[in-house]
């Protein structure tokens, strides 16, 4: 199962990603170029992760997996919260992290995208 340490490392391994704590000391907020792509209270059990998502895909994922719900305290149309309880494959969770990151980077200026070597070759 995906551990908080693995999730944190995966997020921080994305180009330009940083971890900040703007809301409270126990809520990791992962950003790229100042824009949020993931939120997770890493010490909370069960582990819950909020990610940006294309609206149609967000609804499809919610309909498919009971552990995926509309974003907690976020725009319900664009964000999902995943309870990492083993019912959603780790690879799918990590793919959703990458998708969230890509959605955020896609909205950045071309110059910033280039500095992040995005899109990947």
pLDDT digits (tens, 9 = 90+) for 67-102: 999 998 898 889 999 999 999 999 999 999 999 999
HSE, CB side, 13 Å, CA atoms: give it for residue 34: 3
Mean pLDDT of 51-66: 97
In order of their start, the domains of the chain are: 4-115 (3.90.1150.30)
pLDDT at 120: 80
d(CA 112, CA 67): 34
Confidence of residue 6 (pLDDT cuts 50, 70, 90): very high
d(CA 40, CA 113): 25
- Please tell me the pTM assigned to this model: 0.95
Contacts 24+ apart (CB under 8 A), 70-76: 72/48, 74/39, 74/50
């Amino acid at each position: 199962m995906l551990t908080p340490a693995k999730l944190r490392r995966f997020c921080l391994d994305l180009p330009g990603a940083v971890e900040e704590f703007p809301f409270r000391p126990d809520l990791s907020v992962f950003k790229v170029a100042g824009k949020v792509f993931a939120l997770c209270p890493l010490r909370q059990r069960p582990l819950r992760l909020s990610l940006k998502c294309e609206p149609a895909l967000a609804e499809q994922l919610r309909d498919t997996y009971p552990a995926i719900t509309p974003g907690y305290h976020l725009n319900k149309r664009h964000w999902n919260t995943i309870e990492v309880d083993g019912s959603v494959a780790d690879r799918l969770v990590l793919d959703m992290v990458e998708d969230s990151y890509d959605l955020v980077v896609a909205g950045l200026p071309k110059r910033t995208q280039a500095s992040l070597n995005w899109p990947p070759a």
